[in-house]
Copies of this chain bind each other. A is one copy, B any other.
């Protein structure tokens, strides 16, 4: 591998200056972490829960957090033999005790429940977990996190800046974040890449030539085949792919981002210009210049977390697109935007209208039974323009059921396969608006989405 770097130290310093926590910020975070640990212990004592360990995990604990992010993950670790029910009751008991000193608290649920609080301005997750002796004997997925923490902490020393640079670089390329909305790179995955390749530069150079099926196995202990584009075998669990959530498109967007950056390493790859909301006039000009049909399906955003919402929105996007294709409309592209209170599924079509005539091709004339059935159905029927034989098959020109995409969506969208909460919301009401009418949607964040769209 080419170890020379053409990326100037000045550039890296300029980036780090913006993203590396200051000494004051670091001290404050440490102090809050210590306070939280003390609070947890005090709460455990108060509630007479013995044998509890408190672990700070996540980027805050590893010195790889980006300035301005204020996330702390506090794991409250119970002995392995604790029952799940006990863990939940007692763990959440302790968490709620701590929350008494917080500005805000909210119950959340992953594999088991945890508490999210705002404490002195920090966004803190208080997570009860089991203390197992190795990551392959997990009782639940969150129990894995402390092992990740151990693995990274002992190896990342001296490379924290590379992790920070990489995280910001991925943000700039819109591929950072492994939640289901983004389907990009997680913080842990980023850290493992830096550990494996050795530095930010080396990672960028290597990734420029990645191909789907790329497999990295730091511990050389892989036990399973994986089908995802990138396979990063978890050093703490030989069966797990850390990059399982990474989509093919985000994988490719990262490759592309690395290549473009190497061509001309500039700060914009870390901090891209954020587009302005598009104005009505500009949008109308774009419509006029593209001459395609734009459709927006608008409905109330379901009140669920992003990890539940986005998979359902992506599913709806696919379902609407398939429905349109099935009825002969040509879809150019689809997209999803979600805000409060509305969600918009955007569809761009070659045309939102089709002629009345639809050509139905039947079986070959010589497949007698089927061919005769087909002919009987259409010959002389109402709503049939006429028929003929083409390439040995009966063909009838029939009246098309849906001549507008809008009409089709209005009548059939609810019959598509939709996720539960999205279905409920769409079922309460939705609107399909077209082209210039889309100017009715004024949300400024939607207008930013719309600028990129056209």
Report which A residues bind B (CB closer than 8 A).
208-212, 229, 248-249, 251-253, 255-256, 259, 289-293, 328, 332-333, 348, 350-351, 354-357, 359, 364-366, 368, 372, 375, 385, 389-394, 397, 403, 454
Q: Are B291 and A355 in contact (CB under 8 A)?
A: yes
A–B complex contacts, Cβ < 8 Å, 16 sampled: A208-B368, A209-B368, A248-B391, A251-B392, A252-B392, A256-B375, A259-B372, A289-B356, A289-B385, A290-B355, A290-B356, A290-B357, A292-B357, A328-B350, A348-B357, A351-B351
This chain: copies in complex:
2
A350 partner residues in chain B, CB cutoff 8 A: 328, 354-355
CA distance in complex: A290, B403 (Å): 11
Cβ-defined contact, B403 with A212, below 8 A: no
How far is B82's CA from A384's CA once the two chains are assembled, in angstroms? 62
Docked CA distance A362–B364 (Å): 37
Q: A290-B355, A291-B356 are in contact. List 4 more A-B contacts (CB 8 A).
A: A249-B389, A289-B356, A328-B350, A332-B357
Contact status of A210 and B366, CB under 8 A, knowing A248-B391, A249-B389, A253-B389: yes
CB pair B359–A332 under 8 Å, yes or no, is yes
Contacts of A403 in B (CB 8 A): 291
Among B208, B293, B354, B365, the residue within 8 A (CB) of A252 is B365
Interface pair A249/B291, CB less than 8 Å apart: no
Contacts of A357 in B (CB 8 A): 290-292, 332, 348
B residues near A255, Cβ cutoff 8 Å: 365-366
Give the distance to chain B from A84, nearest Cβ to Cβ, in Å. 41
**Are the C-beta atoms of B351 and A355 separated by less than 8 Å?**
yes
Q: Which B residues touch A289, using CB under 8 A?
A: 356, 385
Question: Given that A211-B366, A259-B372, A365-B255 are contacting pairs, would A292 and B389 also be in contact in the complex, using a CB cutoff of 8 Å?
Answer: no
Give the chain B neighbours of A212 by CB distance below 8 A: 366, 392
A403's nearest neighbour on chain B, judged by CB, is B291
CB–CB B389/A256 < 8 A = yes
A290 vs B397: C-alpha distance in the bound complex, in angstroms?
Answer: 10
- Which of A366, A391, A392, A403 lies at the interface centre, i.e. has the most chain B CB atoms within 10 A of its CB? A366
Q: Which residues of B contact A251 (CB under 8 A)?
A: 392
Q: Contacts A209-B368, A255-B366: A249 and B332 contacting too (C-beta < 8 A)?
A: no
Query: Which residues does chain B contribute within 8 Å of A375, judged by CB atoms?
Result: 256
Nearest CB in chain B: distance from A343 CB, A: 21
Complex interface: chain B residues within 8 A of A356 (CB): 289-292
Across the interface, do A249 and B290 meet the contact criterion of CB distance under 8 Å?
no
A229 contact set on B, CB distance < 8 A: 392
| Shortest Cβ gap from A5 to chain B (Å) | 20
Across the interface, A249 reaches (CB within 8 A) one of B208, B391, B397, namely B391
- A385/B248 contact (C-beta < 8 A), A255-B365, A355-B351 known: no
Chain B residue at minimal CB-CB distance from A211 = B366
A403 and B289 alpha carbons, distance in the complex (Å): 12
Which residues of the partner chain B approach A210 to less than 8 Å between Cβ atoms?
366
Q: Name the CB-closest residue of B to A293.
A: B355
A-B CB proximity, top 7 nearest: A291-B355, A252-B365, A292-B355, A211-B366, A291-B356, A248-B392, A290-B357
**CB-based contact B292/A252 at 8 Å:** no
Task: Using known A-B contacts A255-B365, A290-B385, A366-B211, determine if residue A249 contacts B390 with beta carbons closer than 8 Å.
Answer: yes
Q: Which B residues are CB-close (under 8 A) to A351?
A: 351, 354-355
- Among residues of B, the one whose C-beta sits closest to the C-beta of A331 is B359
Taking A249-B390, A385-B290, A403-B291 as contacts, is the C-beta distance between A256 and B365 under 8 angstroms? yes
B residues less than 8 Å from A328 (CB atoms): 350
A208, A256, A293, A355: which has the most chain B beta carbons within 10 Å? A355
Instruction: Kindly state the separation between the CA atoms of A105 and B219 in the bound complex, as whole angstroms.
Output: 96
A345 vs B252: C-alpha distance in the bound complex, in angstroms? 47
